[in-house]
Amino acid sequence: MKHVRTYWAILRGSMITGLVYRFGFIFTILGNVVYLFVAYFLWHSIYRNSTTLHGLTFNEAFIYVALGSTVFILLKTYAEWSISREINDGKIAVYLTKPLDYQLYWLANNLGFTVTNLVAITVPTVLLLIFVFKVSIPLGPGLLFFPLSLVMAFLISFNIDYAVGLAAFYTESTWGLSMTKEIIVTVLSGALLPLQFFPDAIQKVLLWLPFQTIYYTPLTMIAKPDQGWGVFISMIGVQFAWTVASFVLTRLFYVQAIKVLRVSGG
Amino acid sequence: MQTLLRYFRLYFLIEAQYIKARMQYRADFIISSIGMFFTSLATLAVFWVLFQSIPNLAGWNFMEMVFIYAFYMIAISPMQILFDQVWWLRYDVQLGTFLKYYFRPLNMMFYYLSERFDLKGLTQLALGVVLLIYASIKLGIHWGPLNVLLLLAVLFGASLVLISIVTIASCSAFWITNSFPVLNLAWKLREFSPYPMSIFDGAFRFVFTFLLPIGFIAFFPAQLFLRPQEVSPLIYFTPLVGIGLFALTYWIWMLGVNQYTGTGS
């Protein structure tokens, strides 16, 4: 119980820090609104000659892409930049002397930012989608799984960022690693395009990779929720397996990486 | 003229030192270049996937989109290579380290921006040139000397348009300190510039042509080489648009510099 209190304090702290930059929210929302319009026009012209593409209607594809951008803002916490900066300038030493788990510390910290963003950015965007773009979200079992799926997507995405951050123990090139990770995750996860659009062979490979569980899984649940329960249960199962795997792998990586740490002065 | 030459020589000297210092971190350079390479190709990969399902986008086929995107990659490279320092302005303004530039006998904008020369941007430039040549061959575009001159002129203008938009966004730090959200918005807008402007409705086309003229970064000028007969003669003035916007940027920069008083830290 004491631990929960510790990490809760960290989470609350980062939520409050997030609120310091209230002015920034306006621009993030504005950026997202512009993106929604661009996506709307783009997908409108993609669907100019067809009512369904790969089993998706315009409405479904647009919900997918539009919510994809807001989920993107939620999951993009820039954790790997902060973690690698702490490792490179030696600030990590301060945490090692405290009774804290480094991974959980960052997880709580990130969750705080994500909750702030959920309230400040995602909620207005969803309202905008419903009232300005007049999208209709169909009802179905998928919607029930969506919240749980989003939480697991957050955990997997965080663990990938955390692993990239830890790579700073070995190299100073944070920019290159983060960018490469960023691109791999956004393209292969179906954040920009629903996976159905990829050629069959590529699709099969992508379904075996962890990245699709970050965007494709939760977004399918909300864009096409009217499918059988079995579909969603197996999706959640795969996502759960990757969540566990990502925790195990990052903890093993940390144990290895911490051995090479040398902090000289500070 | 004398001053211009002096600045030119100084820029060369400063960057030579910077590159020498960066070369200590060879692994960083290699990994960053790889990152840049993937970043540049990602959008193209998305286009490719998309074109598996549709024959054209608002009448433009895949190879034409490759050409526009290659033009875009070249046009955004000067921003990446020469103006990357604008991303640090908000830190310098916040921490007060910006104050030192007031005491140097050089043009402040020049000196501040010369602090960084982004080597990995060269990867993007090279990739853009290769793709532009590839798409030109595939599309059978004929490059006479006049066309090459026109290309260089509009690329110059297109680069300045992007540089101006991003630098103005960065300058907001003089007033609001943390300019990241504004910068990020400007940076995101840039990504919409290769899309055919005809997919947007009137209001958005107006904004992207006149208010936030991202159309001039890629789609409009690239059109000059793909379908010159469809282009409004206005597009030939891209270099002037760029120069005009850059003059505005310089004015805003000076305004910011003159009213900045530090944050007290």
Q: Is the pLDDT of residue A136 over 50?
A: yes
CA nearest to B192 within chain A: A38
Which is more confident, A3 or B197? B197
**B264 torsion bin: left (phi>0), alpha (psi -120 to 50), beta (else):** left
The alpha carbon of residue B237 is apart from the nearest alpha carbon of chain A, in Å, by 26
Residue B60, phi then psi, degrees to nearest 5:
-105, 130
**B224 torsion bin: left (phi>0), alpha (psi -120 to 50), beta (else):** alpha
Residues of A in Cβ contact (< 8 Å) with B214: none
Q: Hey, are the CB atoms on A34 and B189 less than 8 Å from each other? A: yes
CA distance B201 to B213: 15
Kindly report the pTM of this predicted structure. Answer: 0.89
Look at residue B265 in the predicted model and tell me its pLDDT: 56
The alpha carbon of residue B183 is apart from the nearest alpha carbon of chain A, in Å, by 9
| Regions in chain B scoring below 50 on pLDDT | none
Q: Hey, are the CB atoms on A173 and B25 less than 8 Å from each other? A: yes
Q: How does residue A123 score in pLDDT terms, banded at 50, 70 and 90?
A: confident
Q: Hey, are the CB atoms on A30 and B185 less than 8 Å from each other? A: yes
Q: What is the ipTM of this complex?
A: 0.85
From residue B95, alpha-carbon distances to B84, B98, B177, B180, B265 in Å are 19, 8, 10, 15, 6
Quick: pLDDT tens for A167-202.
888 887 777 888 889 889 999 999 889 999 999 999
Look at residue A97 in the predicted model and tell me its pLDDT: 84
Is A170 part of the contact surface with chain B (CB cutoff 8 Å)? no
CA distance A160 to A155: 9
Average model confidence (pLDDT) across chain A: 89
Quick: pLDDT tens for A94-120.
888 888 889 999 999 999 989 988 888
Neighbours of B27 (CB within 10 A): 12
Span A221-228, average pLDDT: 91
Quick: pLDDT tens for A16-54.
877 776 777 888 888 888 889 999 999 999 998 888 999
CA nearest to B195 within chain A: A42
Interface test with A, best of B28, B62, B191 (most A CBs within 10 A): B28
Is B182 part of the contact surface with chain A (CB cutoff 8 Å)? yes
Which is more confident, A64 or A171? A64
In degrees, to the nearest 5, what angle opens at C-alpha B238 toward C-alphas B143 and B87? 110
Q: Hey, are the CB atoms on B180 and A45 less than 8 Å from each other? A: no
Is A175 part of the contact surface with chain B (CB cutoff 8 Å)? yes
Q: Are A199 and A186 in contact (CB under 8 A)?
A: no
Residues of B in Cβ contact (< 8 Å) with A186: 42
Is B12 part of the contact surface with chain A (CB cutoff 8 Å)? no
Q: How does residue A266 score in pLDDT terms, banded at 50, 70 and 90?
A: very low
Residue A14, phi then psi, degrees to nearest 5:
-75, -25
Residues of B in Cβ contact (< 8 Å) with A26: 181
Tokens matching residue B129:
């040139």
Interface test with B, best of A65, A78, A187 (most B CBs within 10 A): A187
**Exposed/middle/buried for residue B145 (C-beta within 10 Å: 0-12, 13-18, 19+):** exposed
